[in-house]
Amino acid sequence: MKKELSSNTYFVQRTEPFEGVPLGRIDKGEKCSVTGCSREAARSISTDKVKSSGLKISTTEKRAYLCKEHYKEFKKKTKKDKTLDKWRYSA
């Protein structure tokens, strides 16, 4: 179905949603990036942040993919830094 916006501009409106189509890498079955782990990824985080937390990752990409257990470990290791940043910017 086409709708006219102006004399030479058109856009197409979709009538059906993207049901059952995996759009992200996690939905497509990406594995955890931590060395020695082969579980399904639950979150993606910047590689620099993961390396600074002390987790050993086996990727050189921009994003590191973490399973639930390693994401929980990442949150515990970065909790103090987040609290300090929160205090710094709230005052």
Q: How confident is the model at residue 42, as a pLDDT?
A: 93
User: Any idea what the Cα angle at residue 84 is, between residues 81 and 53, rounded to 5°?
Assistant: 5
Give the separation between CA 38 and CA 30, rounded to whole angstroms.
9
Q: How confident is the model at residue 23, as a pLDDT?
A: 77
Residue whose token pair is 């993961």: 50
Q: Name the more confident of 90 and 5.
A: 90
Give the separation between CA 21 and CA 42, rounded to whole angstroms.
17
* pLDDT band of 34, cuts 50, 70, 90: very high
Q: How confident is the model at residue 28, as a pLDDT?
A: 85
